[in-house]
Every structure is written in structure tokens, then in C-alpha cells.
Amino acid sequence: METAHNSASTSSVNPVIPAARDRLIVALDLPAIQSVRQFLPRLEGQCRWFKVGLELFIAAGPSVVSELVASGFSVFLDLKLHDIPNTVAGAVKSASACGASMLTLHASGGPQMMQAALEAAATLPNAPKLLAVTVLTSMNAQQLHATGVMQQPAEQVELLARMGLAAGMRGFVCSAQETARLRDIAGADVTLVIPGIRPAGVALDDQKRVATPADALRNGANFLVVGRPIVQAENPAMAAASILTEMEAALA
């Protein structure tokens, strides 16, 4: 597998400062480990964080995470756990073995579920940081109302984040539109991971609460998650470099 270090010197695009690179997570929404092995060289060493989500994890299993970690990359394992507390606690223990740095669960699973997950993580030597997903970035008010939640997405994000904070969570996933508010509520040391990132002029796909990379960082994001705008780009290295350059400018 391509490693985090072995292709930087052959890059055809300008290098970028580590600050941006350490905050961009590329969502490997791919169907098999072979697709990952084919895709990584196309990034020309631009990225060092990858998200493994349900599609890839279900197809390839925990070894895909171990393989990425062994290649020097950091992995965000986006399993969005949501079950009874005992089952989620067990899943946190099982998922921790593969070396991921961050792992998601749904805040809507409730305070007891989040506490059980945190307690399970506390018993492990190298547990990933647990992140509570608030309201999916693909949900707008209409989609949320259809599930019986009559609040606006921003109100529901705040409710779930406050519940997560009270349960002891120190990391959240929300859209860029709620990031500034969550940063105010949660403080500087809480990790905010933001999907639904779309550079200006790029297709929204199924995402609804979107923002540009620069806006998400200015609002207080720690990490940006970008999938299709990089993975499905004709030239993924160029797409990543362009996003990193925008991030670099916003961070400066």
C-alpha cells in the first residue's frame, strides 16, 4: 500500500503546510481494499488522514484500518455506532483493536449509551477518541421533521451536543453551520470534525448543510472530512491540493 511518506517527493503539486494537512480527512467511501490500494497513489502523498466508513469497513473489515495505520496514516473510523449501551461498549472495545485514532457513535443513542462507550474506551490502552455525531449533514429541517424531530437542525445539534458534553464526550461531528455555536458551548479543547465540505462550485451530492473548507475552519473546525470532491475527482491529488491551499489561507 502507498505510505504516508513514500510519495511526497514525487508530487506534481505544490507542498502545503502541515497544519492544513493534519486537519483534512479524506473519506475513503470505496467498495474494497483493492480500490483503496489503487486510489492512494493517485493522491501523490497529499493527505495523511483517512476516514473508513461503513461501505469500506463492511467490505474489507478491520484489517483495512490496520493496513492504513501500518502505512503511516491516521484513521478516523466512522462506524456511527447506535445501539443499546452494552452493545455499543462492546463495539468500542472491538473497534479499538485496529488502531484507529477516532471513532464515531450517534449522540441520539442517548447519555447512557455515550457513557457506556466512554467507560469502555477508558479501560483500553490505545482507545480511539470518541466523537458523537449530532445531526447528519445530509439532513435539513424537512428530513429531520420526517423522523419526528420538530426542531431546526441547529437546535437539535445544540441539544445533542449539550447532552453529549454532560455525558463526558469531548468530540463531536456537526455541520459547519453549527460549528461556531458548538465551539462557544463546548470550549477550545473539544474536537469538532466537520463533513459536508464543498469547495465553491462543486456538486453538493446528497449533502444539505454544507460549507467551503475556509468557512468551516473560520467557524472553528478542527478537522474537515471530504469524500467525493477528492475521491471522485479526475485528478484527486490536484483536488486535495486545491482544498489544502484554501485551508492554508484560512488558517493563516
| Residues 80-109 close enough to bind ligand C5P by CB under 6 A | none
**Is there binding between residue 236 and ligand C5P (CB under 6 A)?**
no
> Which residue has cell 457506556?
116
Q: Does residue 93 have an active-site annotation? A: no
Does 29 bind ligand C5P (CB under 6 A)? Our answer is yes
C-beta of 10: minimal distance to ligand C5P in Å?
A: 26
Closest to ligand C5P by CB, 98 or 230 = 230
Q: 2 or 178: whose CB is closer to ligand C5P?
A: 178
How many residues make contact with ligand C5P (CB under 6 A)? 18
Which 119-148 positions form the footprint of ligand C5P (CB under 6 A)?
A: 133, 136-137
Cell of 210: 454544507
Q: SS3 string of the chain? A: CCCCCCCHHHCCCCCCCHHHHCCEEEECCCCCHHHHHHHHHHHCCCCCEEEECHHHHHHHCCHHHHHHHHCCCEEEEEEEECCCHHHHHHHHHHHHCCCCCEEEEEHHHCHHHHHHHHHHHHCCCCCCEEEEECCCCCCCHHHHHHCCCCCCHHHHHHHHHHHHHHHCCCEEECCHHHHHHHHHHHCCCCEEEECCECCCCCCCCCCCCCECHHHHHHCCCCEEEECHHHHCCCCHHHHHHHHHHHHHHHHC
Closest CB to ligand C5P among 29 and 83? 29
Instruction: Tell me the residue nearest to ligand C5P as measured from the CB.
Output: 227
The residues in 149-188 that bind ligand C5P, with binding defined as CB under 6 A, are 173
Q: Minimum CB separation from ligand C5P for residue 125, in Å?
A: 27
Q: Does 53 bind ligand C5P (CB under 6 A)?
A: yes
Q: Decide if residue 228 touches ligand C5P (CB under 6 A).
A: yes
Question: Beta-carbon neighbour count of residue 59 at 10 Å?
Answer: 14
The separation between CA 71 and the C-alpha centre of its own chain, rounded to angstroms, equals 19
Nearer to ligand C5P, 23 or 51 (CB): 51
**Catalytic residue (choose from 51, 80, 93, 129):** 80
Q: Does 27 contact ligand C5P by CB under 6 A? A: yes
The answer to whether residue 196 forms part of the interface with ligand C5P (CB under 6 A) is yes
Work out the number of other CB atoms within 10 angstroms of the CB of residue 21. 19
**Least distance (Å) between residue 181 CB and ligand C5P:** 16
Residues binding ligand C5P (CB under 6 A) = 27, 29, 51, 53, 78, 133, 136-137, 173, 195-196, 205, 207, 225-229
Give the residue numbers annotated as catalytic, written as ranges.
80
